[in-house]
C-alpha cells in the first residue's frame, strides 16, 4: 500500500516495501526504525543517517505530530485510495495562514522567548518545553507575527494544549 504524506505543504509518496526498506517518491531507502524504551521517542536510521523524533497522535486519524530537532511538524498521512476519493469529491486542505502551536507532549513551560506582536521567522524558537527531563525548543514553521500567547513560564501543560498562535505576515 502506498501512502501520501503531506508536510509543510509538500507531498511525498511513501511505500513500505518490507521491514528494512521503504520507497520515498520512487527512491528506495534502507531503514531501521525503533521505539526507544517504549516511550513515544523513535530512532530512525535511513541510509546510514541517524534521526531521533518524538511522535504523537494528531487531532485527526490522518494526522501525527512529529517533534524533531526542535521543529514540530504536523504530518498528514492518507493511503492512496483515500487521497483519490477525497480528490474526486473535491475535498482540499486550504491553509488559513495561521499556525497554532500545540504542546506535542505534557510538560512544563520553561521559557517563552517571544511576546504577542513580535515578528518571527521560520525556525525561531517560540517556546521551550521541558518533558521527560529534556528541554525541547518548539520552533516556528513559518514567518509571521505572534498574535496570541495562551501559556506562562512555569505552567504545566497537557498534550495538544494550545500554547500560542502565529499569524502569517501580510506585508
User: For residue range 127-150, what is the model confidence (pLDDT) as tens digits?
Assistant: 999 988 888 888 888 899 999 999
Look up residue 116 and give its three cell numbers. Answer: 504577542
25 shares its domain with 83: yes
Whole-model pTM?
0.57
Asked if the model's pLDDT at residue 170 lies above 70, the reply is: no
57 shares its domain with 133: no
State residue 85 phi and psi, 5-degree precision: -65, -40
| Residue 139, domain CATH | 2.40.50.100
Sheet architecture: strand order including 98-102: 98-102, 162-168, 144-149, 119-120
pLDDT band at 91 (very low <50, low <70, confident <90, very high): very low
75 shares its domain with 127: no
66 shares its domain with 7: yes
Domain range for residue 33?
2-89
CA 92 to mean position of chain CA atoms: 20
Q: Give pLDDT tens digits for 32-55.
A: 988 887 778 899 898 889 999 988
68 shares its domain with 125: no
Look up residue 65 and give its three cell numbers. Answer: 505530530
Q: Which residue has the higher pLDDT, 149 or 96?
A: 149
- Asked if 84 contacts 93 with a C-beta cutoff of 8 angstroms, the reply is no
Amino acid at each position: 500500500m502506498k501512502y501520501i504524506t503531506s508536510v509543510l505543504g509538500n507531498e511525498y509518496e511513501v511505500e513500505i516495501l518490507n521491514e528494512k526498506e521503504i520507497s520515498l517518491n520512487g527512491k528506495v531507502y534502507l531503514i531501521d526504525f525503533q521505539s526507544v524504551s517504549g516511550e513515544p521517542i523513535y530512532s530512525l536510521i535511513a541510509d546510514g543517517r541517524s534521526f531521533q523524533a518524538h511522535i504523537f497522535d494528531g487531532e485527526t486519524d490522518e494526522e501525527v505530530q512529529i517533534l524533531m530537532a526542535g521543529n514540530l511538524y504536523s504530518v498528514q498521512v492518507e493511503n492512496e485510495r483515500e487521497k483519490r476519493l477525497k480528490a474526486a469529491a473535491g475535498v482540499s486542505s486550504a491553509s488559513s495562514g495561521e499556525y497554532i502551536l500545540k504542546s506535542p507532549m505534557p510538560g512544563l513551560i520553561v521559557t517563552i522567548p517571544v511576546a504577542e506582536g513580535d515578528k518571527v521567522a521560520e525556525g525561531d524558537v517560540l517556546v521551550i518545553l521541558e518533558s521527560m527531563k529534556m528541554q525541547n525548543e518548539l520552533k516556528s514553521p513559518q514567518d509571521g507575527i505572534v498574535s496570541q500567547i495562551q501559556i506562562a513560564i512555569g505552567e504545566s501543560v497537557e498534550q495538544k494544549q494550545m500554547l500560542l498562535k502565529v499569524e502569517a505576515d501580510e506585508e
